Amino acid sequence: MARRTASVPSPGEPIAENIIDIDVTTEMEGSFLEYAYSVIYSRALPDARDGLKPVQRRILYMMAEMGLRPDRGHVKSARVVGEVMGKLHPHGDSAIYDAMVRMAQDWALRLPLIDGHGNFGSLDDGPAASRYTEARLAAAALTLTDHLDEDVVDFVPNYDNQLTQPEVLPAAFPNLLVNGASGIAVGMATNMAPHNLGEVIAAAQHLIRHPEATLEDIMRFVPGPDLPSGGRIVGLDGIRDAYATGRGSFKTRAKVEIEQLTARRTGLVVTELPYMVGAEKVIEKIKDAVTSKKLQGISDVVDLTDRMHGLRLVIELKNGFNPKAVLAQLYRYTPMEDSFGINNVSLVDGQPRTLGLVELLQVYVSHRLGVVRRRTAYRLGRKKDRLHLVEGLLIAIVDIDEVIQVIRSSEETAEARTRLMSIYDLTEIQANHILELRLRQLTKYSRLELEKEQEELRAAIEELQAILDSEERLRELVSDELGEVAAKYATPRRTVLLESEAVGPVASDALAAKSGKGAKAVLPLQIADEPCWVILSASGQLARTSNQEPLAEGGQRSRHDVFRSVVATTARGEIGAVTSSGRMIRVQVMDMPALPPTAGLPNMAGGVPAKEFMTLAKGEKLIGLVPLNAVLALGTRKGTAKRLNPDYPLNRDDWEAITLKPGDEVIGAAVAANDDDELVFATKGAQLLRFSASAVRPQGRTAGGVAGMKISDGDEAIFFGVVSAGDPAAVVVTVASGTETLPGTPGGSVKVTDFAEYPAKGRATAGVRAHRFLKGEDALVVAWAGHGPAKAAAANGTARALPTEHGRRDGSGVPLASPVEHIGPSFS
């Protein structure tokens, strides 16, 4: 048993013991309960009516009393903290400042209540000291403190009984649901999610009109939380449980977009994070997970967040990794996916209770009805008091001469008051008001003003009395006021609600291979080395397809959709790019952007410029793409032909494919693996030569080739290609024009001829005539031979139809823009 000494003797007095035996268990229980009650009621839990903890309520009330309105200047936060601590909240200044800072942070509250000026911190860093920051009330906070001077709530003494403070704020909107709350008490805690102001007010209005509304009815207006940071909420079952019972949980995810950062790099761009998760925390977790080998496929993380564009966290991926699979890993191992546990504990009539959504709204609506009822009663009393005075003034003004005579003939004020009350049947209040009457109120105009005021007061009293007498009108008034708040402060929803997960599980390539028919779908982490096409468009766009489905022929074509080169390869393979200077550049297929699967022709608008994948010298041009595992044929402007063996160096990214003579350049490159294939030259002077590929022996990289076509002085080759042996659909297309024809005008002719009509000639000969020039024509601007039907590409890459019937057409009969860059088949 414990002993307690009742009093301490003064020095020199004999010690007289007064020991009281107290049961330790009883003492501890009592003391702990007192402490626990103090923490629960006075510190940690918000009131369900205004959604505020005592310290928050005291801060807002004191700032309103200090006149820190939105239309006035900011004051030092330390001044506010001092006023609150000295008058209402006898606790540490750090606790008061921390609560004040939270009410100013737009990532913590859906509708901030304090307008902060200065460094109020971030999700990763704390705020500056109170002596450095400034604050004033936000506009929305005024709706919480309005009408406090109209007896709308009870006032209670402060800690030293010298001042009073509101027991609860009037709260013109459901602050607890809109801004949420969090706190840890003794033996209990609260954690409430923020919601959208417009949705919550709509639900409250529905409950006002339909007090018997069910949870399903209310959830039509409030489908789920609306977090200040946006993001996505995945899975709504936990939200339904929380709205029904007051307890539940849900997952929040970051908003992530897959973007092509550069021509070679794909990245995940994060623009919204889960509630109360900072970018630095995410970066730290990503680095830890990469170091521990939990995360794969990430090359770098860059934080590009700024005040103008907001959050932008760029996660760069390594080539060959599936972005969606990497994203699923990020959700698993980093705070980019977080869980929020709802625990709706708040104070109702001074007692902590766990409330569902309907109960929370019912408590608020009941509070707001009481506030408006008390405000209406207060205004009614004021109007009646004023009417009482006005009626007394009107009586005095009618007989003002006699009133003055009564006052002047009285010995003192008390006698005058008594005589006025007796003669004119006035009350003491009216008589006192008449005695205080000023001479300027004795004019005729003043009497008219008083009569008008009397009518207005009677109408106002009638209206206020009608509100108090009718519960329906009172509810309608509360609903209208809520609608005004929503119209002024509501903002669109930020958080997207999703019923189910959008990202599947990740598996290794081996596991993905084993997942046969009927197995749960998984995402392979790395992109498989599957067959695909690499396509170079006439406008210089480069991309790869996601598979190697046959490319459709014909169909609607658009900008970029004329193919200059198409190479069959695999997603992790390599191809070569041949340039006009005779150089071949190694290109990694995995670096290229993948076009989305499509039933028709691939849309090359999703590609990137080919120059992003290779460095070309001044004047050097990209001729085409070729595979690295086949014999190639090259042709030059001066008529040189060469077949090239695929013996390329493995330790170099570029090398010479042909040794050119001075002034010469490569104009074409194509696969010529079979000796039966035919090589084709066409010159500006309209000469065409076709000869067997067997006439050109394959050579090494440094060889200069052999004479392919004999070209006369002043002429030059403008086309070199390979036509497969025996191709019945092969055609020759030539476009002629004059040197004086203006670009963009149909000043020439187009000719389409079966390839078989041209006789084969020997190598190093001049060939045959391919196009007879008409008046005004003196050269070919385009020549092409290969598998038809063909399309032409204008300078901007737009596809142009060519004649379907073989023969000649003039420029006015063909929808072909000039100058023409390239003619190619619809699928190769």
Ranking 372-376, 531-535, 682-686 by mean pLDDT, the lowest is 531-535
- Tell me the pLDDT tens digit for each residue of 707-729: 999 999 989 999 999 998 878 88
**b/e code 332-344 from CB counts within 10 Å (16+ = b):** ebbbbbbebebbb
**b/e code 366-395 from CB counts within 10 Å (16+ = b):** ebbbebbbbbbbbbbebbbeebebbbbbeb
Task: Report residue 236 as tokens.
Answer: 């709504």
- Tell me the pLDDT tens digit for each residue of 735-753: 888 766 555 555 578 888 8
CA angle 414, 418, 421 (to 5 degrees): 140
CA-wise closest residue to 715 among 684, 672, 747: 684
Helix (H, G, I), strand (E, B) or coil at 19: strand
333 catalytically annotated: no
Q: Which amino acid is at 508?
A: S
**Which of 97, 132, 243, 364 does the annotation list as catalytic?**
132
**Does 251 have pLDDT greater than 90?**
yes
**Does 255 have pLDDT greater than 80?**
yes
**Does 556 have pLDDT greater than 70?**
no
Helices H, strands E: what count in the chain? 18, 46
Task: Report residue 441 as tokens.
Answer: 């109120």
For residue 3, what pLDDT is reported?
47
CA-wise closest residue to 668 among 636, 644, 640, 646: 636
For residue 611, what pLDDT is reported?
82
**Does 757 have pLDDT greater than 60?**
yes
Q: Taking residues 26-43, what's their average pLDDT?
A: 70
Ranking 268-282, 300-314, 356-370, 802-816 by mean pLDDT, the lowest is 802-816
For the chain, give the percent of residues with pLDDT over 70.
85
For the chain, give the percent of residues with pLDDT over 90.
54
For residue 514, what pLDDT is reported?
47
Q: Taking residues 364-369, what's their average pLDDT?
A: 96
Confidence of residue 517 (pLDDT cuts 50, 70, 90): very low
**Does 828 have pLDDT greater than 80?**
no
Helix (H, G, I), strand (E, B) or coil at 676: coil
**Does 24 have pLDDT greater than 50?**
yes
For residue 131, what pLDDT is reported?
94
Q: Taking residues 172-177, what's their average pLDDT?
A: 96
- Tell me the pLDDT tens digit for each residue of 533-544: 898 888 888 888
Task: Report residue 158 as tokens.
Answer: 């402060």
| Domains by residue range for the chain, with CATH | 25-197 (3.90.199.10), 367-489 (1.10.268.10), 531-825 (2.120.10.90)
Q: Taking residues 301-321, what's their average pLDDT?
A: 89
- φ and ψ at residue 41, rounded to 5 degrees: -85, -35
How far apart are the C-alpha atoms of 128 and 597, rounded to whole Å? 53
pTM: 0.75
Confidence of residue 85 (pLDDT cuts 50, 70, 90): very high
- Tell me the pLDDT tens digit for each residue of 588-627: 888 888 887 765 667 777 778 888 888 888 889 999 999 9
Helix (H) or strand (E) holding 559: none
Q: Taking residues 288-313, what's their average pLDDT?
A: 90
Mapping DSSP onto H, E and C, the string for 349-386 reads CCEEEECCHHHHHHHHHHHHHHHHHHHHHHHHHHHHHH
For residue 667, what pLDDT is reported?
94
